[in-house]
Chain A
Amino acid sequence: MDNKTIKEYLNRCSKCGGCQAVCPLYGETHSEPLVARGKLFLMKNYLDGNLDLSPKMMELMSLCLLCKACTVQCPNRIPVDELVLSIRREIAHHKGIPFVKKNVFQHLLQNNGRLTIAAKLAYLYQQSGLQWLMRKTNILGLLPGEIARKEKLLPRMAKIPFRAQVPKTLSSSKPRLRVGYYTGCLTNYVFAETGHAVLKVLKNHSLDVVIPEQWCCGLPALASGDEESAVLLARRNIEAFKKADVDIIITDCASCGSMLHEYGDLIGGRDARIFSQKVVDFSQLIGDVIDFQPGDKEVSGVATYHDPCHLCRGQGVVEAPRRLIKAVPGITFREMEESDRCCGAAGSFNLSHYHLANKIGHRKIRNVIESGAQLVITGCPSCIMQIRHQLELQEASVQVMHLAELLSKTY
């Protein structure tokens, strides 16, 4: 977005304050600098030369979940999340990217070998008893900040990354479609069970599946203002899936999915646009593109559904997941209040702003519990991590799982 367009959007804000009603951060803090109206006014002041990119400004601009709730409700149709990304890019450009993030985006995420090693180290930490020792002795509690509590957010890593556990192609006898599976980093390194569930469901619908070598979608880099790294990663993924020659590209991660849809605009050009056009969410493929055929096994219980921001607002996928849940034999579906309100995960927001993310998560869990469901189904690994952590904090005996896992249980 160029400066002229940005200025036009900022000028459009009538400061009606409608964003207050939907902003999860404002809902917990009632703090005007955290709501869209405040941020847009600050950006306007920055562009008018009335403000610098001060540490305070940088902090305030980091305090956005990019959940798009304000963007969707804005009567003047201001794409707030895109404007926040653009100021973050400006900050990254002038102030650089913090050392740790820079290393992650520019080295770790661009090198699958190193990323696998890092995941392995995390796995060893959890398996060796070191994690048990650290938690038991509360050594981490002696460290500054929230390290001890945040450490519990760290999910159990998969022993072997998902993609290393499965073949690169799975053929069906009479394939209806050739599906490219973009697994996302969390499914690959943490939630291998989600990956297996996706494959199980696909296998039961006569589909050929290809899982080419692939890289981080680039959203973490873009959200931190590092567009260059995001573009690099995007190009690699586009190339990889082009070679795989697939009809359709699916992902089980709402955040990755919304980013993959952006490739067309981010990079431009025919390949990028074709790539983005092919991307659908797992639930869309099973629910809309082909007809879901559940197995005969019953899964009993009351389930509710959490809309990931990047699925409902990011990709307009609302109805398909619900229809699929209802189609599972034995499941009673019950809608929760505010099902589309952000759970507070927002990429790594729950790590960088742990307390605030907890407040937002608390509200989500309250809504889950009030629905009376024993099972929360959702479509984003990052939401699963956050919701699981919040359920543990509140000692609620509710399970959370990916839609694919629920569907796979019927076979």
Chain B
Amino acid sequence: MLSTTVIKEIIKVVGKENVLTTKEELLCYAYDSTPRAFLPDLVARPCCTAQIQKIAKLANEHLFPLVPRGAGTGLSGGSLPVDGGVVVDLTRMNKILEIDEENLVAVVEPGVITFQIQEEVEKRGLFYPPDPASLKTSTIGGNVAECAGGPRALKYGVTRDYVLGLEVVTPDGEVITTGGKTVKSVTGYDLLRLYTGSEGTLGIITKIYLRLIPKPEAKKTMMVVYDKLDDAAQSVSRIIRGGIIPVTLEMMDDRTIRCVENYKQMGLPLDAEAILIIEVDGPQILLDSQAQEIAKLCQDCGAREIKIAETEEERESIWAARRSVSAAVVQIKPTKISEDISVPRMAIPRMVRRLKEIASRYNLELVIFGHAGDGNLHPNILCDQTDAEEMQRVEKAIGELFKAAVELGGTLSGEHGIGMMKAPYLKVETGEAGFEVMRRIKEALDPNNILNPGKIFRGDTNG
């Protein structure tokens, strides 16, 4: 609970209209896109870096948690106020400050919606590639804090590959700038990489310098159907080794295919083990031959059917199948627990088999889709959050699937972050010593544990 003195101080900083304290309003900042919710004590909506500095100083003086929040669309609980305190809503800081067409850099505030950045730079023939599924709603600040990925990561990389500079308010209320408009920078430690993906635990990002690239001229999309999952995985490897890096290489497993077909009759084969959606981009003149080459490779690997989109409508209809996955799978059961383990791409068939085995052992509904090109899978468990017994089985299954991913040389999280949802499993991957290094960094930078407590490290004594 915050004292009235503290509340008054915060009101002095951001203004009465930007402080929310009623239970109704607080409840609306208690959740993100996970099934969990925790009531904050207050929501502050600052408009600038200076206000955030003042709030951070107050937090250190009066020892209350600060939880930075963008659009609240995270999938690991990163913006959940698990210990209460003040949610710092950054959506008012939503200006694109500069698009530097000469240096190929965009300078933006954290609350800008990622899609808006893409729209603006694409008007100028430029491109910001990271494309998390939530890009039409999620903010760039949240994308940087969680190091969001997306289907295009295979060719273009993830958010961290585009962060050139950051302005950050430290937990004690100082402002630092690390990096900037230069492509190269080796001045001291690489703080950019430290803050990118730090999940709001080390600082509040207040300004972002993004690297832009020229927009690819055109794209071509194809759908490939496989009788055997292993053949699909083999194709993925062959395509990449063959020298063509597609923009996206999306996979749907048999269960997902059936769900989508049940939901929207689009003529998908109900007996196929996997479907790949492959998209290449680049100069128009190269795309036809690249598509043909990929088709041939897939054929060699045992593909049963290959459909290359010749028109925009055909392209749309291929993507419509992938896009309706989320809606289709919740028809099975209302609660969707979306995981995002990542494994080396050739381990995908083994991982899929392990996942199916785990699901059947715990008697759970599981669909698997994701970014086959980079090994980042989204096993989604469909359950009902009002069924306590089932949720316990879900919890156990998740623990096992993380273990399986690490055993196959993979990682707990490809793009969602650890947040609170995966915190109990962090050591499975980092080990004691790795965990300890991270914990010490956190302790050194935020000795009072003001920023986003309960994330990454919870489950251990110093959470």
Which A positions have Cβ atoms within 8 angstroms of B?
A: 8, 11-12, 14-18, 20-21, 30, 32-33, 38, 41-42, 45, 51, 54, 56-57, 60, 75-77
Contacts and interface: CB of A to CB of B under 8 A. Distances in A.
Contact of A75 (B30, B91, B136, B326): B326
B31 A30 contact: no
Contact of B335 (A14, A17, A42): A14
B336 A32 contact: no
A41 B336 contact: no
11 contacts: A12-B330, A14-B33, A17-B134, A21-B113, A21-B136, A30-B89, A33-B28, A45-B27, A51-B27, A56-B22, A56-B25
Given A32-B72, A33-B25, A56-B25, A15 B334 contact: no
DSSP majority for the B interface? loop
B28 A42 contact: yes
A30 B111 contact: yes
A56 B23 CA distance: 9
B28 A30 contact: no
Contacts of B111: 30
Q: Which 7 A-B pairs have the closest CB atoms?
A: A75-B327, A38-B28, A30-B91, A32-B28, A21-B136, A17-B73, A33-B28
Interface in B15-37: 22-25, 27-35, 37
A157 to B, nearest CB: 37
B88 to A, nearest CB: 14
B178 interface: no
A57 B24 contact: yes
Contact of B72 (A17, A33, A42, A54): A17
A20 B113 CA distance: 10
B5 to A, nearest CB: 24
B24 A17 contact: no
Interface in B32-53: 32-35, 37
Contact of B330 (A14, A20, A45, A51): A14
Nearest to B385: A11
Contacts of A33: 24-25, 28
DSSP majority for the A interface? helix
Interface of B: 22-25, 27-35, 37, 71-73, 89, 91-92, 94, 111, 113, 115, 134, 136-138, 324, 326-327, 330, 334-336, 384-386
Contacts of B138: 17
A12 B134 CA distance: 18
B73 A60 contact: no
Contacts of B386: 11
A56 B24 contact: yes
A33 B21 CA distance: 12
A262 to B, nearest CB: 25
Contacts of A51: 23-24, 27
A8 B385 CA distance: 12
Given A16-B134, A32-B29, 12 more contacts: A12-B330, A14-B336, A15-B34, A16-B33, A17-B73, A17-B134, A20-B137, A21-B137, A38-B28, A56-B22, A56-B25, A76-B330
Contact of B32 (A8, A15, A30, A57): A15
A45 B32 CA distance: 16
Contacts of B34: 15
Q: Which of A15, A42, A45 has the most CB of B within 10 A?
A: A15
A20 B324 CA distance: 19
Contacts of B137: 17-18, 20-21
Nearest to A60: B24
A17 B115 CA distance: 14
A52 to B, nearest CB: 9
Q: Which of A18, A32, A75 has the most CB of B within 10 A?
A: A32
B330 A75 contact: yes
A54 B25 CA distance: 12
A77 B263 CA distance: 12
A17 B326 CA distance: 13
A57 B384 CA distance: 27
A33 to B, nearest CB: 4
A344 B330 CA distance: 33
A77 B91 contact: no
A79 to B, nearest CB: 14
A15 B29 CA distance: 12
A12 B327 CA distance: 11
Contacts of A16: 33, 73, 134, 326
Nearest to B72: A17
Contact of B334 (A11, A41, A45): A11
Given A21-B136, A30-B94, A75-B327, A15 B31 contact: yes
Contacts of B37: 41
Nearest to B136: A21
Contacts of B330: 12, 14, 75-76
Nearest to B386: A11
Contact of A17 (B33, B92, B384): B33
A11 B384 CA distance: 9
A301 B81 CA distance: 56
Contacts of A12: 330, 334
A185 to B, nearest CB: 34
B227 to A, nearest CB: 30
A18 B28 contact: no
A378 B367 CA distance: 45
Q: Which of A18, A30, A77 has the most CB of B within 10 A?
A: A30
A41 B334 CA distance: 15
A12 B28 CA distance: 17
Contacts of B115: 21
Contacts of B94: 30
Contacts of B24: 33, 42, 51, 54, 56-57, 60
Contacts of B72: 15, 17, 32
A78 to B, nearest CB: 10
Contacts of B28: 32-33, 38, 41-42
A20 B137 CA distance: 6
A76 B327 contact: yes
A17 B327 contact: no
Nearest to B111: A30
A326 to B, nearest CB: 22
Contacts of A20: 71, 73, 137
A69 to B, nearest CB: 13
Nearest to A10: B334
A11 to B, nearest CB: 5
A45 B24 CA distance: 9
Contacts of B334: 8, 11-12, 14, 76
A47 to B, nearest CB: 12
B33 A15 contact: yes
A20 B25 CA distance: 16
A75 to B, nearest CB: 4
Contacts of B113: 21
A48 to B, nearest CB: 11
B299 to A, nearest CB: 34
Q: Which of A33, A51, A77 has the most CB of B within 10 A?
A: A33
A196 to B, nearest CB: 43
